[in-house]
């Protein structure tokens, strides 16, 4: 008999919101820190990702960028991260946020950065069957001019797998101001890059941040966006437009201190009929994986198996891959879901 827990674990999944460095294991981060002389708060892999507060997480996130210095190191992290996710979460396709501005701080240029990451991800796709794309992320604290400069650099150094622009880097204060990157996003659209942005994520954010992302930046997707439920007019609008929301249940307990229960803003967003898909955000750094996001996160929110299935399929449609790649993903998901759904129906009938 197929239990709900097994159904959610085996459900084929995409992940559209994954920060590349957070796929690195604690053991590798510690070893790399020792190799390159980067201080970390502990050398105990069991405690490295124990955070007292959001600032602790941000320190670990920054350290992760400092310990990867060569294309070979990046390729290893990329491959290992896919292998783990495919086993733990039935991952079939993933999109990664990569912050060139953070890696530049340790002297790693854009081309060696991307070539290392892409080498590992291409190998994983060939050996493990997990497709991928890369989204170049603007650090929110950079100037608007620096953001434009980064987008232009991406356009001038094309890779077929680098398909989009985002903006991330949560601050300890949770401040957001999407409109300041209007010129960078306008340039991204002109050069054919897809767009998304972290907006409306934390208690200190506002529904207006989501509105600005849509109206000023013209984004294709919203990362997080939970505060939208606090504005009934805006919520009705995003339900009508079906703009995708890349949601990460478990990270909200760390970044926002929200309890996972049916009263959670994400539960309300899903229940409203908004176009939501599910990701991990910072995977290993939050001790999570796609399987856990579905089995624990969604279940705690009160989401049933049929709704979880819909959220998984939403990820296929919201992906920034080509139409041909999307068609192949649909076919793969359909085949896997036929068998899973049949087993679930038999279990429910008993």
Cα–Cα distance between 247 and 268 in angstroms, integer? 12
Q: How far is CA 16 from the centre of its chain?
A: 5
pTM higher than 0.75, yes or no?
yes
Mean pLDDT by 10 residues, the chain (350 residues): 87 97 94 93 87 81 92 97 90 97 92 98 98 96 95 98 90 73 98 97 92 98 98 99 98 91 98 98 92 96 96 98 98 94 81
Q: Is 97 helix (H, G, I), strand (E, B) or coil?
A: strand
pLDDT at residue 254 in the model: 87
Q: Is 119 helix (H, G, I), strand (E, B) or coil?
A: helix
**What ranges in 96-169 are assigned the alpha helix state H?**
100-104, 110-128, 144-156
What residue segments make up the domains of the chain, in order of their start? 4-344
| Kind plus residue range of the DSSP H or E element containing 45 | none
pLDDT at residue 2 in the model: 79
pLDDT at residue 140 in the model: 86
Phi-psi region of 205 (alpha: psi -120 to 50; beta: other; left: phi over 0): beta
pLDDT at residue 175 in the model: 64
CA separation (Å) from 140 to 99, 147, 257, 261?
A: 11, 9, 22, 30
pLDDT at residue 128 in the model: 96
CA separation (Å) from 326 to 3, 129, 282, 317?
A: 29, 14, 24, 7
Cβ contact 188:162 at 8 Å: no
pLDDT at residue 169 in the model: 63
Q: Is 200 helix (H, G, I), strand (E, B) or coil?
A: coil
Q: 4-344 has which fold?
A: TIM Barrel (3.20.20)
């Amino acid at each position: 008999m197929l239990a709900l827990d097994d159904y959610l674990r085996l459900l084929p999944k995409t992940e559209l919101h994954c920060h590349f460095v957070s796929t690195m294991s604690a053991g590798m981060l510690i070893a790399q820190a020792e190799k390159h002389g980067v201080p970390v708060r502990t050398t105990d892999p069991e405690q490295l990702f124990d955070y007292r507060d959001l600032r602790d997480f941000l320190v670990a996130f920054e350290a992760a960028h400092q310990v990867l210095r060569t294309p070979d190191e990046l390729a290893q992290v990329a491959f290992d991260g896919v292998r783990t996710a495919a086993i733990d979460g039935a991952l079939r396709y993933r999109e990664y946020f990569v912050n060139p501005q953070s890696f530049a701080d340790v002297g790693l240029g854009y081309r060696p950065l991307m070539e290392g990451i892409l080498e590992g991800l291409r190998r994983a796709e060939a050996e493990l069957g997990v497709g991928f794309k890369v989204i170049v992320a603007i650090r929110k604290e950079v100037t608007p001019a620096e953001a434009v400069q980064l987008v232009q650099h991406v356009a001038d150094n094309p890779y077929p797998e680098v398909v989009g622009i985002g903006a991330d880097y949560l601050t300890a204060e949770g401040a957001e101001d999407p409109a300041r990157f209007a010129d960078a996003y306008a340039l991204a659209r002109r050069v054919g890059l897809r767009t998304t942005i972290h907006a409306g994520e934390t208690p200190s954010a506002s529904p207006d941040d989501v509105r600005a992302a849509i109206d000023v930046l013209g984004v294709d997707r919203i990362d997080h966006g939970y505060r939208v439920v606090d504005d009934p007019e805006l919520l009705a609008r995003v339900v009508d437009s079906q703009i995708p929301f890349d949601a990460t249940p478990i990270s909200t307990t760390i970044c926002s201190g929200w309890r996972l229960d049916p009263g959670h803003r994400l539960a309300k967003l899903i229940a409203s009929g908004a176009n939501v898909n599910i990701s991990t955000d910072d995977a290993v750094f939050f001790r999570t994986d796609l399987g856990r996001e579905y089995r624990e996160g969604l279940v705690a929110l009160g989401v049933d198996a049929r709704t979880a299935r819909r959220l998984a399929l939403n990820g296929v449609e919201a992906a920034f891959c080509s139409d041909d790649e999307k068609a192949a993903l649909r076919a793969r998901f359909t085949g896997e879901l036929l068998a899973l759904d049949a087993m679930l129906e038999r279990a429910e009938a008993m």
